Amino acid sequence: MPRTDEPATRVAGAVLQVFMERALARCEVDEPSRNAVARALITASRMGTDSHGLRLLPHYVRAVQGGRINPRPAMRFTRRLPGTGYLYADDGFGHLAGYTAIEHAIAMADEVGIGAVAVGRSSHFGAAGCYALEAARRGYVGLSVCTADALVSLHHGQGPFHGTNPIAFAAPVPDQLPYLLDMATSSIPWNRVQQYAAIDRELPPGVVVDRQGNLTTDASQAVSLLPLGGADFGFKGAGLAGMVEVLSATMTGMLHGFRLLPMSGDDMSTPRGVGHCFLVMRPDAFVERDVFDRGMRDYLKDLRDQPALEGGEVLAPGDREWRCQAHRDAEGIPLDSANVAAYAELAERLSIPAPA
């Protein structure tokens, strides 16, 4: 019998991007929104973040067709202070809100050294790393955070309270790909649980609990994630999740995760009102640019030169993603059997060619 986690096929990223944009166009999504969604999903899938990549397209189609997401938002940016602003996302796609907010944050950082943008009335924005990475690719330090609906138990709590509440941080490195940290504050992302359930793959131990609150490795039985740190040290993940709540819900005027409509619930007509927060810093606003560049190079060289345990390898944040990206750019992005079936059904329903 073949392994259930082996890809059913591989498709070039450019082909998948065209398919995504065609699918969203059939849903009357405007060009800026569909470009942003496809860009973010392909970025995540190229880097191996499959839980936040191409598998989300069918969900987004359901959400926009149901009325949850505004296909043609009129987003409005208000600059409140020299280095701060607020983006009203008009219940549009979070991906467009994220890239738009980063552009405004970069513009402010260019002028005053730092730019912070709070975003309200948004929706799921995919992988948080996409937006921090956009800043780093253009020579800035970037941070992005987002609240999410309750899927993660508190430390010693009986049920879900926080969302997976991701934190992404990226920094430029001269003549190298950026430093990139992109992490959930839960043990694993909820989308990965859904992905493993779709292909009948067992989860690692100690990351989810079932309806009775017992640890399980059966993805189909999972009802709540544990916070980062697990059963013994979950207070660390729960604390970081709370920090994200303050930045992306309280400071945006949006509901915190416990009160948000679930992303995967039955209601696909009511906008969720998700909040995000983005920070961009210009390194030479703090220290000479050559000092910063030399520091990043030296830090990463020292890190990667450290001796590893037998059979292991010391990697900097982002190294795994860049290796995966190089491989997938050469070989194609893998689609598992569930992805293939979902894309075939979507193509038939929307009367567009399936990705070959």
The DSSP line for 190-245 is HHHHHHHHHTT-PPPTTSEE-TTS-EE--GGG--EEPBTTHHHHHHHHHHHHHHHH
Mean pLDDT for the stretch of residues 110-137: 98
Is 190 a residue whose pLDDT tops 90?
Answer: no
pLDDT band at 344 (very low <50, low <70, confident <90, very high): very high
pLDDT digits (tens, 9 = 90+) for 327-339: 999 999 999 988 9
Is 159 strand, coil or helix? coil
Is 3 a residue whose pLDDT tops 70?
Answer: no
As a dihedral over the C-alpha atoms of residue 100, residue 16, residue 149, residue 94, rounded to 10 degrees, the angle is 10
Q: How many other C-beta atoms are found inside a 10 Å radius of the C-beta of residue 78?
A: 11
pLDDT of residue 5: 57
Whole-number mean pLDDT of the chain? 95
pLDDT of residue 212: 85
Domains and CATH numbers, the chain: 73-317 (3.30.1370.60)
Nearest CA to 196 out of 210, 213, 217 is that of: 217
Question: How deeply is 195 buried, as exposed, middle or buried, from its count of CB atoms within 10 A (0-12, 13-18, 19+)?
Answer: buried
pLDDT digits (tens, 9 = 90+) for 40-57: 999 999 999 988 999 999
Nearest CA to 201 out of 218, 189, 186, 188 is that of: 218
Sign of the alpha-carbon dihedral angle for 282, 287, 291, 297: negative
CA distances from 245 to 116, 163, 211, 258, 314 (A): 16, 9, 25, 10, 32
Distance of alpha carbon 156 from alpha carbon 136, whole angstroms: 37
pLDDT digits (tens, 9 = 90+) for 67-113: 999 999 999 999 999 999 999 999 999 999 999 999 999 999 999 99
pLDDT digits (tens, 9 = 90+) for 215-254: 999 999 999 999 999 888 999 999 999 999 999 999 999 9
Mean pLDDT for the stretch of residues 3-31: 91
Q: In DSSP terms, which residues pair with 156 in a beta bridge?
A: none
pLDDT of residue 356: 84
Is 2 a residue whose pLDDT tops 70?
Answer: no
Which single residue is written with the structure tokens 């210009």?
282
pLDDT band at 192 (very low <50, low <70, confident <90, very high): confident
CA distances from 68 to 71, 190, 294, 349 (A): 9, 20, 47, 19
Mean pLDDT for the stretch of residues 115-143: 98
Which single residue is written with the structure tokens 């992988």?
127
